[in-house]
Amino acid sequence: MRTSRRIDFVRSAPLPMRNGVAPSRVHLPQGPWASMLDFLLERFRHIPPDILRARLARGDIVDDAGVVQTLDSPYQPLRWLWYYREVPVEVPVPFDLPVLFRDSRLVVVDKPHFLASIPGGRYLQETALIRLRSSLDLPMLSPIHRLDRDTAGVLLFCADAESRGAYQALFQTRDVKKEYEAVAGRREGLALPLVHRSRLQAREGHFTMQEVAGEPNSETCIELMEELAGGLGRYRLLPHTGRKHQLRVHMSALGMPICNDGFYPVLGAYAEDDDFSRPLQLLARGIEFVDPFSGRMRRFESGRRLAL
């Protein structure tokens, strides 16, 4: 149902896709604004007023009928405004995005570190979704699941919008086997393999997660694959659940934070520019499931290797 609504949304938009990006929209409620500019200045307070004025002056914003809105346009409620989301100049992520598999329904890629899965925040063109829509000429390509921007590895997209729900349902019912690999410090006296369970919730007013008291809602099996030099180890992580930052929080809670993790156990200083020489040592190594259409077992594996 949600997929159908998304298809209708894109098809009904008065603006076409542009460089793989669908237009965005904002609803115009009843209100006291005399002009369209007055509304936009209040609705988008985080955007400098000069930028909003410039976008209206350029004719970048239209209504449902495709009529261009200008600096002089009066405010007319109970309609939609359509526009293309813009972000500051993005720093190119200098890593490739190999396609591991492609058919009429599935596109499976080997995502590099530092590349976001989908647009959000300050990332738009430098995302796996937009790169693939452009390079594969699949404007309706959509994500089946996501990986953190800091995490590399196997990532699935759907090329047929009507099939997306069936694949997403596999993740919701936990019928997808996911295998991750991480490099982290070794902790003496900790018997491995082990299963770590805890209750995860978001930190108030923050984007990171924390373990709290209560019924566990996350579970990860952790195995030591090999001992590495410098007191490090290579670990296999098998999550049974898929909470945000789950693997990073669990490894940190056990006293083995993943190498180059800027969030756990302590949030590091925010850096505007990425240090491409220090990727998080976390990799979505493989994913396995029974295809809901063919009934065949599918397994896809990353060709990448973690290396400090």
Asked whether the bond before 112 is cis by omega within 30 degrees of 0, the reply is no
* Mean pLDDT, residues 289-307 taken together: 96
Tell me how many degrees the CA angle 157-159-163 measures, rounded to the nearest 5: 90
**Poorest-confidence range of 11-25, 50-64, 83-97?**
11-25
The pLDDT value given to residue 86: 86
Q: What is the CATH number of domain 176-308?
A: 3.30.2350.10
The residue written with tokens 């393999």 in the block is: 193
Task: Specify the domain boundaries for CATH 3.30.2350.10 within the chain.
Answer: 88-173, 176-308
Spatial distance between the Cα atoms of 227 and 136, rounded to a whole number of angstroms: 40
Class of domain 88-173: alpha beta
- pLDDT value at 270 more than 70: no
The pLDDT value given to residue 76: 95
Q: For residues 248 and 267, is the Cβ–Cβ distance under 8 A?
A: no
The two tokens of residue 281 are 């040592």
Spatial distance between the Cα atoms of 121 and 80, rounded to a whole number of angstroms: 22
> Distance from first CA to last CA of the chain, Å, rounded?
44
Tell me how many degrees the CA angle 30-32-34 measures, rounded to the nearest 5: 110
- pLDDT value at 7 more than 80: no
Over residues 209-265, the pLDDT tens digits come to 999 999 999 999 999 999 999 999 999 999 999 999 999 999 999 999 999 999 999
Instruction: Residue 63: name the closest of 31, 26, 30 by CA.
Output: 26
Known catalytic membership, residue 148: yes
Q: Which position among 148, 150, 160, 261 bears the catalytic label?
A: 148
Spatial distance between the Cα atoms of 139 and 206, rounded to a whole number of angstroms: 33
Residue 111 DSSP symbol: E
The two tokens of residue 17 are 């896709």
- What is the enclosing helix (H) or strand (E) of 102? strand 99-102
How crowded is residue 145: how many other Cβ atoms within 10 Å of its Cβ?
A: 18
Spatial distance between the Cα atoms of 280 and 248, rounded to a whole number of angstroms: 10
Q: For residues 71 and 77, is the Cβ–Cβ distance under 8 A?
A: no
Spatial distance between the Cα atoms of 172 and 164, rounded to a whole number of angstroms: 13
Spatial distance between the Cα atoms of 28 and 36, rounded to a whole number of angstroms: 9
Spatial distance between the Cα atoms of 181 and 304, rounded to a whole number of angstroms: 11
* Mean pLDDT, residues 85-103 taken together: 93
The pLDDT value given to residue 1: 42
Over residues 178-194, the pLDDT tens digits come to 999 999 999 999 999 99
Strands 152-158 and 106-111, sheet pairing: antiparallel
Residue 307: which pLDDT band, with cuts at 50, 70 and 90? confident
Spatial distance between the Cα atoms of 259 and 265, rounded to a whole number of angstroms: 11
The two tokens of residue 195 are 């299963």
The two tokens of residue 269 are 């200083």
